[in-house]
Structure 1
Amino acid sequence: MPTTLPPFVSSADLESLIAEAGRRERRLVIADVRWYLDGRSGRDAYHADHIAGAVFVDLDEWLAGPPSPTEGRHPLPDPERFARGMTEAGVGDDSTVVAYDDAGGVIAARLAWMLRVLGRDAAVLDGGITAWQGELGAGAAVAGRRAAPRADATFTAAAWPASALASIDETQARAADGSALVLDARTADRFAGETEPVDARAGHIPGARNLSVRDHIGGDGRLRDLDELRARFAQFGLAPGGAAPGSDVIAYCGSGVTACHELLVLEHAGLGRGRLFAGSWSQYAADAQRPLATGA
C-alpha cells in the first residue's frame, strides 16, 4: 500500500510535521529506536538525551521476535506483538511516525520499514538526533523520562505481506542462479569472512553482492547525495526506469535490521521496493548444511 511520506525526512521536514500536528491535531509520533550491537542500552541513551516528545521503542522487545537458530537473532515479531508495542508507544492506525537513532538511521530504519510495508506513514530522520541537535541547537533535545503516549492510540495487527519478504531457500537459490540481486548490507570485512563478531560462521551467501549500508552515510551522519547513492546501485545494473525492478532485489544483513535501511535507500533512489530476507546471515550461518562463500 502507498504511503505519503518519503523514506527519509530532514530535520526541517520534521519541524514542519510537528507544526502541522499542532495545527491540525494530526497524530505524529517521534520514535527513538537506538540500539547497539555491543550491548549498550538504547533505553539509557534515550533517558540521557532524546528529541523532545519522543517515545522510546525497544527493538528487542517490539521490533523482533525471540531469537533462535532456526529464525535468526531478530526475526520479525508476531503481528499481535508488534501491534501491542505500537499501541503502547502511542502509534495508532492513523499515525505518522518519524524514527531516529544515532547511527545514521541504520537501526531506526527497522521500524520505518515495518510500518511502511503495512501501508502506514513512516520515515527515518536523516542524520538522527545528531543532525537534529546540530541544526536546532541547544534545547533541541531533552533528558528525562519517557514521553507519555496518547492513550487513545490503537494499532491494528496485520500479517507481514508476503510480497515484502524472501525466505531463506529463495534467497539462497536466487543468489546462486543470479535471478535476483541479493544484497548483503553488512560491512565489507564481515561479507568477506575476515571477521564475524556474533554469528555462527563467517562469510556470505554464495552469489550475494556486498553493498554496506554504512557506506550510504557520509561523514556528517546523513545520507550521501542522491546521485552518489544511485551510482552505488548502478554498479549492479540498477537505475531508475531500468530493466531490473526492485522486486528482483533481496536484502539481508546480520540479523535483518540494517538490511531495512538498504531497502529504504533503494526506494529513496527511485528503484522501487525490494524484499527482506528477515532471518539474514544469523539464520543462514546457523545451518551448517548451507554453503557459504568468503572473499570480496
Structure 2
Amino acid sequence: MTARVTTTVAELEALLRAERPPVVLDVRWALGDPHGRDHYTAGHIPGAVYVDLDTELAAPPSPEGGRHPLPDLSDLRTSARRWGIGSGRPVVVYDDLGNTAAARAWWLLRYSGVTDVTLLDGALGAWRAAGLPLESGVPADPPPGDVVLHTGALPVTDADGAAELAAEGLLLDARAAERYRGEVEPVDPRAGHIPGAVSAPTGENLAADGTFLPPEELRERFESRGADDTARIGVYCGSGVTAAHQIAALTLAGFEATLFPGSWSAWSADPARPAATGPLPS
C-alpha cells in the first residue's frame, strides 16, 4: 500500500490540536530568493520549524553533484533530530510556492526511511485562504528527536542512468518549458535538455489554488507523456528540487519514479554530455 502523499489544511489543523501533534517543517525557498528565513520569521504555521534547503537538504554544490547534491546521511540525521523528528511521529512539510520546494524535504525523508511524511496540500496559501492564524518570530527549538535514518528507500540514478532512461524508458524534465527548449537558462552552464527527455513542467501538477490536481487528472497528464504501468520512469529538473514535486505527483497518479539528483545542473556542467534544444525530446 502506497503511503499518503498529502495532508489537507483541515486535517493539519485538527492534528495540531492533538496530544502529540506532528512535526511541521517550513521549507521556504525559491530560486533567486535567499530570504526564506526572513519570510518564515514574518509569518509561519504555529509551531513550524524552519528548514534551510541550501544547507540542510543539500550538500555543498559541485560540478559532479550539481547545485543541490543529496546531503550526507549523518548531516541529515542531525538536522532531522534538531527539527524534532522522532521515530513514529508524523511529519508535515510546506512552503509558500505550491510545495515545489517542500517536496525536496518530503522526498529526502522518504528516501531516508521516514514513511509518515506528507505535503500540506495547497501549501501555505491554502492555510491563509482558510483564515487560519500565522505565528511570527522564531520559536524556541523543539525537543530533539531520535529518528533513525537509512538511505535507499526510494530509487535514485546518476547521469548515465538518466541517459539510459531517456533512451529506453521515460525521462521527464520538470523544468519550465522555455528552459527545456533551451530558450533561456538563468543558472546552469548550458541551455537545453537531456536528449530523449520529455517536457513535463512541474507547475502543471497543480490546480489554480495551488493544490495537486486529482489523481485521475495527474494520471492522464503523465500517460500523455508516455507513462504506463510497465515503463521505467525517471525525473530531473534544474538541481533535483522541483523534480521531487514531480515524483510526488507521479506517486499520487499511481506511478513510481526515479530521481536524478544532479539533474540539469550536473549534466550541463559536463562538456562530454550532449544537450538537445527545441520542443521535441531529441
Equivalent of 2:75 in 60, 76, 81: 81
Taking the aligned partners of 1:214 and 1:123, their CA distance within structure 2 comes to: 19
Query: How far off is 1:209 after superposition?
Result: 0.4
1:46-57 equivalences under 5 Å are 46-57=40-51
Runs of 4+ in 1 over 6 A off after TM superposition: none
Q: Is the 8 Å Cα contact of residues 113 and 151 (structure 2) preserved in structure 1?
A: no
Equivalent of 2:237 in 227, 235, 253: 253
Taking the aligned partners of 2:8 and 2:140, their CA distance within structure 1 comes to: 22
What is the match of residue 215 of structure 1? 204
What is the match of residue 148 of structure 2? 156
What is the match of residue 61 of structure 2? 67
**What is the SS of the residue equivalent to 1:123?**
strand
What is the match of residue 190 of structure 2? 201
TM-score normalised by L of structure 2: 0.93
What is the match of residue 284 of structure 1? 267
Deviates more, 1:76-85 or 1:222-231: 222-231
1:238-292 per-position Cα deviation (integer Å, ceiling 9, x unaligned): 35xx333xxx111000000010010111011122x21100000000000011101
Taking the aligned partners of 1:146 and 1:63, their CA distance within structure 2 comes to: 21
1:1-296 equivalences under 5 Å are 4=3, 6-19=4-17, 21-22=18-19, 25=20, 28-120=22-114, 121-135=116-130, 137=131, 139-151=132-144, 153-161=145-153, 164-175=155-166, 177=167, 179-239=168-228, 242-244=229-231, 248-271=232-255, 273-296=256-279
- What residue identity is the alignment partner of 2:251? E
Query: How far off is 1:116 after superposition?
Result: 1.6
Query: How far off is 1:14 after superposition?
Result: 1.3
Query: How far off is 1:169 after superposition?
Result: 0.8
Taking the aligned partners of 1:207 and 1:65, their CA distance within structure 2 comes to: 28
TM-score normalised by L of structure 1: 0.89
**What is the SS of the residue equivalent to 1:142?**
coil
Q: Is the 8 Å Cα contact of residues 184 and 252 (structure 1) preserved in structure 2?
A: yes
Q: Is the 8 Å Cα contact of residues 84 and 155 (structure 1) preserved in structure 2?
A: no
- What residue identity is the alignment partner of 1:145? V
In structure 2, runs of 5+ residues without a counterpart are none
Taking the aligned partners of 1:109 and 1:159, their CA distance within structure 2 comes to: 17
Taking the aligned partners of 1:277 and 1:290, their CA distance within structure 2 comes to: 15
Query: How far off is 1:94 after superposition?
Result: 2.3
Taking the aligned partners of 1:227 and 1:86, their CA distance within structure 2 comes to: 33
- What residue identity is the alignment partner of 2:263? S
1:68-126 per-position Cα deviation (integer Å, ceiling 9, x unaligned): 11110000000000001111111123221100001101100000111122331101111
- What residue identity is the alignment partner of 2:221? R
Q: Is the 8 Å Cα contact of residues 79 and 160 (structure 1) preserved in structure 2?
A: no
Q: Is the 8 Å Cα contact of residues 112 and 149 (structure 2) preserved in structure 1?
A: no
Cα RMSD (Å):
1.6
Query: Alignment length, in residue pairs?
Result: 278
Taking the aligned partners of 1:147 and 1:9, their CA distance within structure 2 comes to: 25
- What residue identity is the alignment partner of 1:286? A
Query: How far off is 1:30 after superposition?
Result: 0.5
